[in-house]
Amino acid sequence: MDSQEYTMFLMVEQVISSIAAVIDVLFAGTPTTMADGEQASRASKTNTHLNKVIFGDIDTATTYGRKIDLLLRCDDDQIEVCSNEWKKSDARDATILRHQSKNLRTYATIINHILGPLHPDIDGTMAMYFIGGNTGYLYESKKTKDHMFIAKLATHLHVPKQAKHFDTFFDTLKGLLFFKEILCNMVKTVKKHISCKSSTGHRRA
C-alpha cells in the first residue's frame, strides 16, 4: 500500500469507524433525526401498557419502552419511524436471534401505534441490523391485511476495515441512500398529515 492509498484509508477509516457517524452524515439536512445510545422506544412502551391492560397484568410498576441502539425520528415531532440494532460479533446465535426478534417486534409497534394511525397508507418501514459493527443488512417489513408482519431482506451492508474491501462499500452506500429515500419520503408524508390535521383543528376552533 503506497502512502497516498494509506492516507486515504486512514481518512475513510475515521469516517466509517462508527456506522452511527455514517447515518448522521446520511440524514444531515433532512427532516429525519437520529437518537443513539440505548434510547427508549415510545411505541414499545405503549404496546407494553396495552398488553398489561388487555391481559390483566397486575404489575403496577412503571412501564418503560424497549431500549433501542438507534432510533430515527421526525425532526421536530419526535415521531419514531424506525428502530435499528447492533450486536457484538461474539454473540451466540440464540442471542442474535432473540435480538432480531426484539427489533422486529419494536418495528411492528412503531407501525401499529405511531405511523399507522397517522396515515392509513403507511403499512411498513425499513431498518438496519448490524452484527460486529461492520456487517449487517437492511430489511423491510410490511403489515398484511391479516395484521401480520412479513419481513424481507433489502440488501446486505458492509463497512470495510481494509483498503482491499473498499469496493464493497459502494454497494453499501447505494443501499443506505435507498434507505434514506424511503425514510425521508415517509417522514414527509407523516409531517404533511400532521400539518393538515393541525390546520383542520385550528379552523374548527
pLDDT tier at 57 (50, 70, 90 boundaries)?
A: low
pLDDT tier at 154 (50, 70, 90 boundaries)?
A: very high
Q: 157: Cβ–Cβ under 8 A, 6 or more apart, which residues?
A: 128, 130, 135, 136, 137, 138, 172, 175, 176
Mean pLDDT confidence for 93-119: 81
The CA R_g of the chain, rounded to the nearest whole Å, is 19
Beta bridge partners of 125: 141
Q: Report whether pLDDT(40) > 90.
A: no
Name which of 4-13, 49-58, 183-192, 193-202 the model is least confident about.
Answer: 49-58
**Nearest-angstrom CA–CA distance, 107 and 110:** 5
**Which pTM does this prediction carry?**
0.72
**Nearest-angstrom CA–CA distance, 52 and 57:** 5
> Which residues in 140-151 are b (16+ Cβ under 10 Å) and which e?
bbebeeeeebeb
What residue type is 64 in one-letter code? Y
pLDDT tier at 204 (50, 70, 90 boundaries)?
A: low
Mean pLDDT confidence for 60-81: 63
Look at residue 155 in the predicted model and tell me its pLDDT: 92
61 phi, psi to nearest 5 deg: -65, 155
Q: Which of 13-17, 178-182, 185-189 has the highest mean pLDDT?
A: 178-182
**Nearest-angstrom CA–CA distance, 138 and 179:** 8
Name which of 7-11, 96-100, 129-133 the model is least confident about.
Answer: 7-11
Please, what is the average pLDDT of the chain?
A: 74
Mean pLDDT confidence for 129-150: 86
CB atoms within 10 A of CB 124: 19
